Structures are given as C-alpha cells and as structure tokens.
Amino acid sequence: MDHFRLPFLRRHSGEQRAQSTGPVKMDMVIESPPVMFLGTPSESTGALMSGRLQLWPKEGAVVMTSIVMFLECTTKTGCPSNTKCKECKTDVRDLYEWNFFYKPHSFEPSEHPCELPFSHLIPGHLPSTTLGSLCSIEYSLHVRARSDNNVESEFRRELEISRALRANGERTYIRVFPPSDLQMHVTLPLAVYQFGEFEMKIIIKNVKEKKDTRWELRKLHWRVEEHEVMSHIGCEKHRVAHESESRAEVGEAAHSSSEAVHRLMEAADSSGETAQTTTHSTAPSTAPDTAQGIPQSSREAVERSRVAAHSSSLRAALTSYTEQMSAVVASVKHSASGLSTPAKPGQSGTATPKRPKSPTTHHRLVGWGEWKEGWKNNHEDEQIELETRISLNPSLHALCDVRSDDGFKLWHVLTLEGFVAEERRSKTKPNKSTPTGLARSMTARFDLIVTKRAGMGIAWNDEAPPTYDNVPESPPVYEGTSTSYREPEDARD
C-alpha cells in the first residue's frame, strides 16, 4: 500500500497568511510573477521578486521604531537524528533581510494604506518548495514591526518557489541481456512533467538468434518509482557530536593501519636477514662454479647486494607511509579530543556520542501500466518496435526532483520489465510457430527527471527590454489652451 501513501497535505502557499495582534494591520501585494528557477541549480540565474508591504494603523497615529522582513527557509523532517530535539526536527534559516527604515517613523490613519516597496533577486541554487513524506522545504516572507512602546506585530506569507527544466530533446538508452543477444533500446525525453503524457519508444533487437527460432514478446510492464532519502545531519549541537565520532573512527582506522605497516617493516627486515643467512650457509666461497664459470663468492656478493637494495627500498617506502599516517593520526586525535563529549561523574575517559542513524528512505509508485499487445514485429530487421505515450498518475501528485544541502534527495526511476518466449517456426508453414519452452525476463531501469512546465521558458536576464516605437514624440495639443515661452535674460546677453 506504499504507492497509495500521499505526501504531507499541501497548502495554497500563494494565499497563506498569518497575522498577530499589534498596533498595525499588515498585508502584502506580490507584483512579480510566481518565483520559478529555469535550469539546473548550477546554471540557473535565479528569479526576481518584487512587491509592496501595506500597513494600516488600527487606533490613531502610531510610531514604529523598526519594520524588518525576512525571507525564511523552513526545513522540517519527520525522522530527525534526535527525536527530542526541536531544532533537529525544524530548521529555520534567514536567506535575506529587508530593513525598511532605521529611524522611528510615524504612520497616520488614512483611507489608503502606507506601502513599502521591496524587491530581491532570489539565487537559483536554492531547492524548490517540496512537501515530501520524509522532509518538507517551505519558504515564507516574515515581517516583524515594533512600535515605540515595544509592542510587536508579525505578519507571514508563504512563498512558493518552483524549478523548471527545459525538456527539449531526447536520450536513447541501450540495455543488453546476456547470455542472449537481446538488446533493448529505449528513447525518453530529457525531462517529464508532473501532469501530462510523454512519449516513449522501445526497440528490442536481435530477436532472431537461429535460423528457425525467434524471441516473441509476451508482456511488457512499466512503473515509475519515487525515491526519497533523508540523511540525519541534525542541528549544530548534535552535528558536532556526530562529526567528532566519525573523526575518532577515522583515527582508529589510521592507527591500526600504521601498526600493520610496522609489522610489515619488521617482516621485511627479518626476510632480509634470512636471505643473507641462507646465502652464507651455502657452499664454500673458494669453490668455483664450473657450470657457469663464475666463482661462488661473486654470486653470493651479488645476491646479498640485491637483497639489501630490495630491503632498503621497501623500508624507505614503508617509513614514508608511516610518517604520513602518524601525522594523520595526530591531527585526527587532536581534533577529536577538542570536540569529544566530557564523561559523566563515575565514568572513566570520555563519553562516546551515539552513532548517527543511517539515512531514512521512502519509496512509492506514482505511475504504472502494462502492454500485452500493440507492438510491431519487424521480421526484416529482426526487431520488435513499440511507440506509446505514458503519464504519471495525477491523483498521486508526483513531486519534482530535489536535492538540498540538508541531506534530502528526491528522484524518480522508470522500470521496464519485458517477458519474451522462444518459438520455432516451421519451414513449410512460416505463419505457424511452436513454443520451445524457453523464456526470459528483461528488466531495465532508467533515471527519470520530473519537473514543472517552464511556460515561456525565458529567464529574467534573457528578456528583451521594452520598446517605445508607438509613443509620439510630444503630447497632443489641447484646444483652448495656449503656451508662451519667454527667453531668460541670461540667454539674451
């Protein structure tokens, strides 16, 4: 039933507002289009946002000492590294800050509100708004206004940030299924949309292996899986504890490797001494070697020099490696000792923090289907062809691909499963075939990028500036009016 599990309930972020009691009433008007990043996080130039903050004094004139607005990013996780820590569950970061004035300002009640304009270029590397099953990323504009008597008013409006990738072009994938010669060629678009169909082409080649046998496609399944992974980074406090533990583990591993190097050096020294002892214990050096014409003493000297050179080169390499590992062990121990948690009374040494949890994963199906017919058997080219259009299930609200620095990643995978059976065709009756009883299953997986539609697909820095060709050079002349011009006295001289 995991494929029926829906993500966190969505809210209409464009109209979500939160207001607290205070001396002024606030509202906001967003003048710019919806915030949408075009392209990947590395190539996107961001999006422009502009609007007006509106204020109404509730009771007479009011003096405001400060009005500050923040662009906040709120990350909530349902599986924090420490379930008792609120900061591990919810992380709020201020991305930008607007200070509308630095001196006290008086606001008078009037029919129209007092408007404070604002604008900002939101960087394009930020993750888009996501409401997943493991993590949610939301953005909001948070306003805090303080009066001269220290009474504070707050206003919050959610801001939806989306990302659109240009889906122009296609990509062909090739999968091979040994020990047979079958090949599956799948052509998919570079990116697909949450709602709407997309085209897929499947070609199975080398279906004829022998003269009288041929592979026939019986059934073809497809499904799109949505994968979520959340790494337990935690807040700053628990993050330091986890980093100290990982550095301590690296130090122990480096220390054990250095000890192994020392044992290798001792083995190399002992092997060199053994080789020299064996050489000395051979035949007397005065007896010449008649077979090769070289005295035995000369051969022993050459053997001793070769063993000594090999042992010295090995010891030099091991010594250099030991020095490097010792430096690594010292630095790791020093950093781990400065970040380790102090031991409780009655315990010896330092208390080791708990091992961080492994990343939490979640999977669900957002689209599936099968075909039992509809493909074309091309006997001339010895291949099976299928061209079709599929779509994600709109009732499941598939999310867009997201990757954030908080350890959250969401992506999609398209899986194809085909079942083929071998048939033997009769020479006398070509249209009649007999199953041989041999069948195979072909499974192939492809990464599928899910994104939103880009609309016109023009970024803010690619838009053409406005032109004024239709505007006349001067305003029209009104009837019954006259204008006079008197030359200045300075110009007369």
Q: What is the DSSP letter of 85?
A: -
For residue 134, the one-letter residue type is L
Mean local confidence (pLDDT), 471-477:
66
CA–CA distance, 26 with 53 (Å, rounded to integer): 7
pLDDT of 293 above 80: no
Residue 96 pLDDT: 95
Question: pLDDT above 70 covers what percent of the chain?
Answer: 65
What is the length of the chain?
Answer: 493
Q: What is the DSSP letter of 44?
A: -
Mean local confidence (pLDDT), 263-283:
53
pLDDT of 371 above 50: yes
Residue 239: Cβ within 10 Å count: 15
- Tell me, rounded to whole angstroms, the distance of Cα 155 from its chain centroid: 32
Q: How many helices (H) and strands (E) does the chain have?
A: 4, 26
Q: Which of 79-93, 340-354, 356-370 has the highest mean pLDDT?
A: 356-370
Fold observed for domain 2-164: Immunoglobulin-like (2.60.40)
CA–CA distance, 222 with 234 (Å, rounded to integer): 37
Contact (Cβ atoms closer than 8 angstroms) between residue 67 and residue 116? yes
Same CATH fold, 170-231+359-451 and 2-164?
A: yes
Residue 489 pLDDT: 61
Whole-angstrom Cα Rg for the chain: 38
CA–CA distance, 141 with 367 (Å, rounded to integer): 35
Residue ranges covered by each domain of the chain: 2-164, 170-231+359-451, 236-283+301-339
Q: Which class is 170-231+359-451 in CATH?
A: mainly beta
Contact (Cβ atoms closer than 8 angstroms) between residue 296 and residue 310? no
- What confidence tens digit (pLDDT) does each residue in 416-472 have? 999 999 888 776 766 677 888 889 999 999 999 999 988 777 888 888 777 777 666
Buried b (16+ CB within 10 A) or exposed e, 443-461: ebebebbbbbebeeeebee
User: Would you call the peptide bond into 179 cis, given omega within 30 degrees of 0 as the criterion?
Assistant: yes
Buried b (16+ CB within 10 A) or exposed e, 412-433: bebbbebebbbbebeeeeeeeb
CA–CA distance, 305 with 481 (Å, rounded to integer): 117
